[in-house]
Amino acid sequence: MKFTLPLLAALILATPLPASAVSSMEERIDKTIDILEQYGKAQGDSIPREVFHEAKGLVVMWIIKAGFIVAGEGGDGLVVIRKGKKWSHPSAISAAGAGVGFQAGGSSQDYVLLLNTEGAVEQFSKKGNYTSSAEVEGTAGPTGRELSAGVATVNAPVYTYSFTKGLFGGVSLSGLGYGSADDTNENFYGEKLTPREILDGKVKKTPSAVERLWKALEDLDKKPKIEGKTPTKDRKN
């Protein structure tokens, strides 16, 4: 039987991930806040502030890679979208993918995805499993203190960044399948809700963790773009 990438991703999404790869919404929020705070402190080569300010939505997730012969990827994350000048309640998501090859051991990587179009937002607002599509294929996002004059801030539905030790780099992220983490959402909000209902604010209660996430996002929205030229590698101090 021939397994296609979407089929492998769907099979992995349907299979419970190891306990270390599954986190509660509180843990997802705490990790997201940590990443956002480090981005707020970042200088030089990082996500341009203009790009962040214009994003219609944000996905933060962490992917764990592990496997033997058939390498699997699985991870957790959350998505939030802009609601005017405010941010939505977070909805939990899962991610999975697969590739054939030898891979001993495992590794973990954090990612930040900026959703630049309504189509991309809609993809991450779905309930159930959905494979990667043209709207959510990650394009390596621009980095630097400023964008060159005349260059469009947004030219792709999704900008993808990897996050490592306080540094954000644009990367191409494709071949993953995504899905709504409905149990995580239900445990957190205390009721069964679709991702779209959560993102639209149709929740009966707002846990304190959400308030902390909103503050971190609003603090970033208040930060101006980083002025000055991006340091080059051959520049001497």
More confident residue, 73 or 49: 49
Domain-located, residue 120: yes
Domain-located, residue 60: yes
The three-class DSSP label of residue 13 is helix
Domain-located, residue 45: yes
Domain-located, residue 97: yes
pLDDT tens, residue by residue, 170-226: 887 767 788 899 999 999 999 999 999 999 999 999 999 999 999 999 999 998 766
Q: Identify the CA nearest to 162 among candidates 226, 119, 108.
A: 108
More confident residue, 49 or 173: 49
pLDDT, residue 1, reads 41
pLDDT, residue 64, reads 76
pLDDT, residue 133, reads 55
pLDDT-derived band at 69 (thresholds 50, 70, 90) equals: very low
User: Checking DSSP bridges between strand 139-140 and strand 158-164, what pairing results, if any?
Assistant: parallel
Number of domains composing the chain: 1
The answer on pLDDT for 20 being more than 50 is: no
3-state percent helix, strand, coil for the chain, nearest multiple of 5? 30, 30, 40
Q: Which own/partner contact pairs does 156-160 have at CB distance under 8 Å and 24+ positions apart?
A: 156/116, 157/115, 157/116, 157/117, 157/119, 157/120, 158/113, 158/114, 158/115, 158/116, 158/120, 159/47, 159/51, 159/55, 159/113, 159/114, 159/116, 160/111, 160/112, 160/113, 160/114
pLDDT above 90 covers a percentage of the chain that reads 38
Domain-located, residue 229: no
The three-class DSSP label of residue 160 is strand
Structural domain including 215 reads 5-222
Domain-located, residue 64: yes
Distance CA 133, CA 218 (A): 30
Domain-located, residue 152: yes
The three-class DSSP label of residue 225 is coil
The answer on pLDDT for 55 being more than 90 is: yes
Residue 226 DSSP label: P
- The amino acid present at 82, given as its one-letter code, is R
Is residue 111 within 8 Å of residue 97, measured between CB atoms?
Answer: no
pLDDT tens, residue by residue, 80-131: 999 999 999 999 999 876 443 333 445 678 889 999 999 889 989 988 887 6
Domain-located, residue 161: yes
pLDDT, residue 37, reads 92
Residue 221 DSSP label: H
